[in-house]
């Protein structure tokens, strides 16, 4: 069995599971976002009164943090009241940040766990060796009601990363390249495991970016075998109560693909789909109106650090805005302590509240008709960040920062030591 299958088997209390089988699994952590009040409606419609396990439930007020419309404020109020009345202690209010980063910051993402959140980018926690997947509101309500949910055991694709990425090429460039090669529907209903020597060079932050974006290939879950890097990250947080599963040597992957990274260049996803990928060099000089640095894909300390390195002692071109949203409160605090925020604001950045911000086009930096944005986020669908006639180019945090300097798409390599 694959490690992901072993996690499902344990959660289903079964010895063996196999791809295609439908199993009912006990969920270790169930998360709800403030977008989905429907979850509470569905819970009550199913006759729910008390949440099955308040300790295993976590509520994130992140997509609308802080509320910018009356109905958003109303939904958040109902979530707070729900947590208080149900004894749910893990209420992550508007001061905490994006769900996936909070999960990592607080040590809730750990090997062997079955994590389900009402957010498609829940694949992120595969970076820690968890089985983690996104669901809709009613599925999450079923977990609130019963503690369990059905899953179809997925086939697993292995993506082997070799070589050594050159200067200016980051995990985001690697995953954009892979999505461009394979397509937005390549891994629908399947899991993706990353292996290979490149992983040893990637921090937890970059591993999270890789796993986060597997959603854009339709993947159900992702996986990186926990190693010393994972253990150290968790150990530093005092987290040691986890079980690491390993894939059997005779496990047969659905497919094994190898990607060489030594000759990779910075990449871009071009409007309006994430699999429309080209080397950034083909679009150098494209004017931009906004550079957006942040989100659960590209708003961690390491991302702000590389942006600060590029922008230190420089000023962004006044023809564009640079909107910066740290992924979480902890990221913001660390970036303040390390001086990155000072550097970014001096360079001309606009800081917004840790959370999802303009990533899904609801507030804090949405773009107008005809405007062009380069973003470290995960999606460039029509209308994703505001007007349907706005254009979004996806890139690494370094490419976003370098482009803000010139109000044009720019290769970051020249600004990096």
Partner 1 sequence: MEKELNGKAFVFSKNIDTDQIYPGRYLAETLPENIGRHAMKGADQEFIRQVQPGDIIVAGTNFGCGSSREHAAIALKASGISVVLAESFGRIFYRNGINLGLPLIVVPGITAQVETGHQLSVIVETGWIVNQTTGKQIKGDQISEYMFTILDGGGIKNLIHKQYQ
Binding site for partner 1 (CB under 8 A): 22, 35-38, 41-42, 45-47, 63-64, 69, 71-72, 74-75, 118-120, 134-139, 141-142, 145-146, 150, 184-185, 188-189, 218, 220, 273, 275, 360-362, 379, 381-384, 388
Distance between CA 272 and CA 256 in Å, rounded? 29
Distance from CA of residue 190 to its chain's centroid?
A: 18
With CB under 5 to 8 Å by kind, the binding choice for 22 among ligand SF4, partner 1, none is partner 1
With CB under 5 to 8 Å by kind, the binding choice for 29 among ligand SF4, partner 1, none is none
Taking CB under 6 A as the criterion, the residue among 4, 169, 202, 296 binding ligand SF4 is 296
- For residue 171, report the phi and psi dihedrals to the nearest 5 degrees: -55, -40
User: Looking at beta carbons only, is 35 or 401 nearer to partner 1?
Assistant: 35
User: Looking at beta carbons only, is 266 or 361 nearer to partner 1?
Assistant: 361
Hey, which residues between 265 and 294 contact ligand SF4 (CB under 6 A)? none
* Bridge partner residues of 194 (DSSP): 159, 224
Q: Is 295 in the site for ligand SF4 (CB under 6 A)?
A: yes
Q: Is 401 in the site for ligand SF4 (CB under 6 A)?
A: no
Taking CB under 6 A as the criterion, the residue among 5, 28, 105, 119 binding ligand SF4 is 119
Q: Are 192 and 159 in contact (CB under 8 A)?
A: yes
User: Looking at beta carbons only, is 136 or 197 nearer to partner 1?
Assistant: 136
Least distance CB 190 / ligand SF4 (angstroms): 20
* Helix %, strand %, coil % of the chain (to 5): 35, 20, 45
Cis (ω within 30 of 0) for the bond into 179? no
End-to-end CA distance of the chain: 44
Least distance CB 121 / ligand SF4 (angstroms): 5
User: Looking at beta carbons only, is 135 or 198 nearer to partner 1?
Assistant: 135
User: Looking at beta carbons only, is 5 or 317 nearer to partner 1?
Assistant: 5
Q: How many C-beta atoms surround the C-beta of residue 343 within 10 A?
A: 21
User: Looking at beta carbons only, is 96 or 377 nearer to ligand SF4?
Assistant: 377
C-alpha closest to that of 395 among 222, 279, 243, 256: 279
- Give the DSSP H or E segment for 180: helix 171-182
With CB under 5 to 8 Å by kind, the binding choice for 38 among ligand SF4, partner 1, none is partner 1
3-class DSSP state for residue 395? coil
Residues 6 or more apart whose CB falls under 8 angstroms from that of 211 comprise 123, 124, 125, 126, 127, 194, 222, 223, 224
Q: Are 295 and 356 in contact (CB under 8 A)?
A: yes
With CB under 5 to 8 Å by kind, the binding choice for 84 among partner 1, ligand SF4, none is none
User: Looking at beta carbons only, is 43 or 242 nearer to partner 1?
Assistant: 43
User: Looking at beta carbons only, is 109 or 378 nearer to ligand SF4?
Assistant: 378
With CB under 5 to 8 Å by kind, the binding choice for 295 among ligand SF4, partner 1, none is ligand SF4
Least distance CB 372 / partner 1 (angstroms): 18
Q: Is 356 in the site for ligand SF4 (CB under 6 A)?
A: yes
C-alpha closest to that of 356 among 383, 330, 328, 332: 328
C-alpha closest to that of 122 among 406, 378, 400, 414: 378
- The first and second tokens of residue 368, run together, are 């107008």
Distance between CA 251 and CA 248 in Å, rounded? 5
For ligand SF4, the binding residues (CB under 6 A) are 63, 98, 119, 121, 295-296, 356, 359-360, 377-378
């Amino acid at each position: 069995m694959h490690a992901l299958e072993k996690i499902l088997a344990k959660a289903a209390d079964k010895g063996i599971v196999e791809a295609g089988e439908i199993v009912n699994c006990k969920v270790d952590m169930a998360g709800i976002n403030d977008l989905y009040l429907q979850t509470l409606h569905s819970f009550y419609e199913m006759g729910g009164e008390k949440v099955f396990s308040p300790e295993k439930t976590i509520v994130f007020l992140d997509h609308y943090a802080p509320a910018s419309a009356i109905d958003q404020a109303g939904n958040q109020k109902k979530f707070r009241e729900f947590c208080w009345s149900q004894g749910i202690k893990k209420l992550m209010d508007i001061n905490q940040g994006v769900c996936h980063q909070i999960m990592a910051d607080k040590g809730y993402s750990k090997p062997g766990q079955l994590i389900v959140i009402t957010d498609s980018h829940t694949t992120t926690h595969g970076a820690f060796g968890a089985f983690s997947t996104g669901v809709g509101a009613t599925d999450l309500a079923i977990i609130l009601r019963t503690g369990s949910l059905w899953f179809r055991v997925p086939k697993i694709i292995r993506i082997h990363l070799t070589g050594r990425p050159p200067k200016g090429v980051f995990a985001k460039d690697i995953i954009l390249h892979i999505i461009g090669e394979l397509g937005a529907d390549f891994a629908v209903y399947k899991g993706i495991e990353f292996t290979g020597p490149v992983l040893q060079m990637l921090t937890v932050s970059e591993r999270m970016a890789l796993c986060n974006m597997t959603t854009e290939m339709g993947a159900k879950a992702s996986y990186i075998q926990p190693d010393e890097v994972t253990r150290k990250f968790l150990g530093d947080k005092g987290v040691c109560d986890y079980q690491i599963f390993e894939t059997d040597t005779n496990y047969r992957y659905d497919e094994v693909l190898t990607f060489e990274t030594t000759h990779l260049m910075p990449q871009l996803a071009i409007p309006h789909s994430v699999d429309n990928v080209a080397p950034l060099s083909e679009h150098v000089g494209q004017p931009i109106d906004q550079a957006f640095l942040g989100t659960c894909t590209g708003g961690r300390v390491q991302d702000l650090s590389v942006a600060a390195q590029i922008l230190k002692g420089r000023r962004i071109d006044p023809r564009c805005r640079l909107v910066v949203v740290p992924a979480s409160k902890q990221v913001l605090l660390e970036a303040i302590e390390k001086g990155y925020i000072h550097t970014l604001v001096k360079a001309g950045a606009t800081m917004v509240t840790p959370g999802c911000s303009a990533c899904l086009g609801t507030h804090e930096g949405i773009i107008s008709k005809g405007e062009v944005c380069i973003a470290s986020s995960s999606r460039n669908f029509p209308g994703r960040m505001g007007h349907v006639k706005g254009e979004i180019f996806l890139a690494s945090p370094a490419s976003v920062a370098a482009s803000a300097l010139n109000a044009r798409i720019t290769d970051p390599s020249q600004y990096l030591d």
